[in-house]
Amino acid sequence: MQTKSVLSLADVKKIVAAAEAEALANKWAVTIAVADDGGHLLWLQRLDGAAPVSSHIAPAKARTAAMGTRETKIYEDIINNGRYSFLSAPTIEGMLEGGVPIMVNGQCVGAVGVSGVKSSEDAQIAKAGIAALGL
């Protein structure tokens, strides 16, 4: 039997507070989503002024990063490099930069997905949130 770390509610709140602080410091209106390792939504926060569609995109990025155990930018790069058939992969959405897995001892315990600004800025916010865990 293996043991594995899991995100607590306190961890999620810490991630979201740091991600929100990063977004607000840059005056970016975004939606922040945190998912567990199965891609199930643990938290969704849409900042004032964030586009309504971002509340669909951010959780999709978090889910894809968690289930794939890699940043969603990898999927975006695969598609942008001409492997368009990857778009037909079943049940995978949010294949845009801005989803970042949370890795602990080589295992994915969840992910953060952000949507609302440039994809690289979404990823910056997600990584700032994860950094608050001090892993």
Average pLDDT (100-110) is: 96
Given this model, what pLDDT does residue 92 score? 85
Residue pair 25/3 in contact by the 8 Å Cβ criterion: no
Given this model, what pLDDT does residue 132 score? 98
Answer whether residue 89 shows pLDDT above 90: no
Average pLDDT (47-73) is: 97
Tokens of 102: 């949370």
Instruction: Name the class of domain 24-131.
Output: alpha beta
Tokens of 66: 């968690």
Domains of the chain: which residue ranges? 24-131
Given this model, what pLDDT does residue 135 score? 87
Answer whether residue 90 shows pLDDT above 90: no
Assign 3-class secondary structure to 1-44: CCCCCCCCHHHHHHHHHHHHHHHHHCCCCCEEEEEECCCCEEEE
Given this model, what pLDDT does residue 98 score? 97
Q: In sequence order, what are the residues at sequence separation of 6 or more whose Cβ sits closer than 8 angstroms to the Cβ of residue 23?
A: 29, 30, 32, 47, 114, 116, 125
Rounded (5°) CA angle 51-31-34: 150
Average pLDDT (58-77) is: 96
